[in-house]
Every structure is written in C-alpha cells, then in structure tokens.
C-alpha cells in the first residue's frame, strides 16, 4: 500500500465519482491522470467539463480520453468537452479510445445539442475503437480491454491502463464477473464501481458481493466509486477506500 516512487510518479485526480443520478451531489464519472508526458481522462461523464474547470485542468492539455461504455454519465461529457476543445487551438492532437461507434454517437449528440456548431471531421481528434479483450497502444499507454456485465447496448468494458511501470485498472460499470480478478491483478490502483451497499442489481456491484470476492483481488490498492444514495447512507460501514470528487493520489 506504500507509494511506489522508484520511477515516474503519476497523479490521479477524481473529477467525478458519482452515479448517473447525481447522488450526493457528486459529478458523473471522470478520472484525470497526469504523468510528465501525458494527460489522460478515464471516462468523460456529462458533468466533466465543469469538473475539469473546478480543478484548473485545461481541455487543450488532455491528450487521451478512454471511454468504458456508452452511458451518458460515462461519455455524455464529450460534446461539451469537444466544443470547448475546438476553440482552444490545442498544441497536441487528441485521441479518444472507446468501444465502436463513439464518433458517430458524439456527432449525433453535437447535432442535437448545438446544431451546425461542430463537425468532428474538422477537428484533430483520432478515434480509436476497441473490441473486448484487445490491447490498444497509443501515446505511451497500453490499454487492455475486458468485457464486463452491464447493459449490453452500452457496449460495457473495463480498462487496464499501463502507463510506464504503473497500472491503473477501472471496472467501468459492471456486476461481479471473474474477469475483474485479471483486470485488477497487481494493479497499482483498481478503481471499482460499487453502486450499492447491499441492494443487488443487475449490471452493478454491491458492497456485500464485492467483499465476498475481495480475497481474489491482488491489486495493491482499491478505490470504490459510483455510489448511489443507499451506499452513501452506509459510508460509515465501508472499510475500503473510495473515490470522492477532488480526491487525488500519487501512484
């Protein structure tokens, strides 16, 4: 559980740790990772642009955005992010890694929300589509994808992201699946969605189920995230660390 400072340290900042319903006033999912070489967002929920500005993070400095699935609290911030990005004259191109179809979905959202304002073809944005169980290499990142158990139409995946010698794993939204064991294996930080305390719900994890499987997880550190109101009401009974908006760690 000690910080590993043998090589480059990376900083992870929680931009949004909430669920789809804004429970507890928490913002939708987004994690910001900074290394000396790259700034990365993991998921880009609807509230992300405001969240980044709360933390003084500039959109034009983001080089990679990795998306787990197509639910608005995980990717719905992309139209707003890109509208702002387009007017900042960014020095570096942006890469968006996602399940198939992200560009089309985001262009549709832009056309609905801001008709005629932005054509993605006019932006220096590289969309990389991944399949489950694939390894994507870009911008000094190695991103391994894992299919997870959530609303299938949203094409849900978990991501294991290697940056230098550090590994950040993130479950995305899922119920318990044995793939989480491999996802979390030896990760420096495993961010695990734990929507509920004991309410069992299809497509989401609850704390009691996670505790049953906790011995199988070999990550060095785990943070829970994506809490609903029931989970927030039981925070005093949670023995694991959890994400909160603005929380930051060095890895």
Nearer to Zn ion, 19 or 63 (CB): 19
Nearer to Zn ion, 41 or 86 (CB): 41
**117 burial type by CB count under 10 A (0-12 exposed, 13-18 middle, 19+ buried):** exposed
Nearest approach in angstroms of CB 14 to Zn ion is 17
Nearest approach in angstroms of CB 230 to Zn ion is 17
Nearer to Zn ion, 71 or 160 (CB): 71
Q: Which helix or strand (DSSP H or E) is residue 126 part of?
A: strand 125-129
Say how far apart CA 64 and CA 207 lie, in whole Å.
31
Nearest approach in angstroms of CB 220 to Zn ion is 26
Under a CB-based contact definition with an 8 Å cutoff, are residues 40 and 15 in contact? no
Could you tell me how many residues of this chain bind Zn ion (CB under 5 A)? 2
| Residue 34 tokens, joined | 């900074």
3-state secondary structure 13-43: EEEECECCCCHHHCCCCEEEEECCCCEEEEC
Say how far apart CA 232 and CA 196 lie, in whole Å.
9
Question: Can you say whether residue 186 is alpha, beta or left, with left for phi > 0 and alpha for psi between -120 and 50 degrees?
Answer: left
Nearest approach in angstroms of CB 11 to Zn ion is 26
Nearer to Zn ion, 21 or 114 (CB): 21
Nearest approach in angstroms of CB 151 to Zn ion is 6
Interaction between residue 19 and Zn ion (CB under 5 A): no
Nearer to Zn ion, 124 or 229 (CB): 229
Nearest approach in angstroms of CB 80 to Zn ion is 19
Nearer to Zn ion, 173 or 179 (CB): 173
User: Looking only at residues 65 through 84 of this chain, which bind Zn ion when binding is defined by CB under 5 A?
Assistant: 71
Site map for Zn ion, 148-187, x if CB under 5 A?
-------------------------x--------------
75, 144, 227, 246: CA torsion to nearest 10: -80
Residues that bind Zn ion (CB under 5 A): 71, 173
């Amino acid at each position: 559980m000690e910080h590993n400072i043998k090589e480059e340290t990376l900083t992870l900042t929680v931009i949004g740790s909430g669920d789809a319903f804004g429970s507890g006033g928490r913002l939708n999912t987004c994690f910001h990772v900074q290394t000396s070489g790259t700034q990365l967002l993991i998921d880009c929920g609807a509230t992300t642009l405001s969240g980044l500005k709360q933390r003084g993070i500039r959109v034009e400095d983001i080089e990679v955005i990795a998306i787990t699935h197509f639910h608005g609290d995980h990717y719905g911030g992309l139209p707003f992010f890109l509208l702002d990005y387009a007017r900042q004259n960014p020095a570096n191109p942006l890469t968006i890694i996602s399940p198939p179809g992200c560009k089309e979905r985001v262009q549709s959202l832009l056309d609905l929300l801001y008709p005629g304002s932005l054509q993605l073809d006019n932006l220096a944005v590289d969309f990389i589509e991944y399949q489950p169980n694939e390894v994507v290499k870009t911008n000094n990142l190695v991103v391994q994808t894992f299919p997870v158990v959530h609303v299938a139409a949203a094409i849900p995946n978990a991501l294991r992201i290697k940056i230098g010698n550090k590994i950040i794993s993130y479950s995305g939204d899922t119920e318990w699946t044995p793939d989480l064991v491999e996802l979390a294996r030896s990760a420096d930080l495993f961010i695990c969605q734990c929507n509920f305390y004991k309410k069992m719900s299809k497509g989401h994890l609850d704390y009691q189920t996670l505790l049953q499987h906790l011995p199988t997880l070999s990550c060095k550190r785990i943070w829970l995230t994506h809490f609903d109101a029931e989970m927030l009401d039981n925070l005093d009974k949670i023995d694991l660390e959890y994400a909160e908006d603005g929380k930051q760690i060095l890895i």
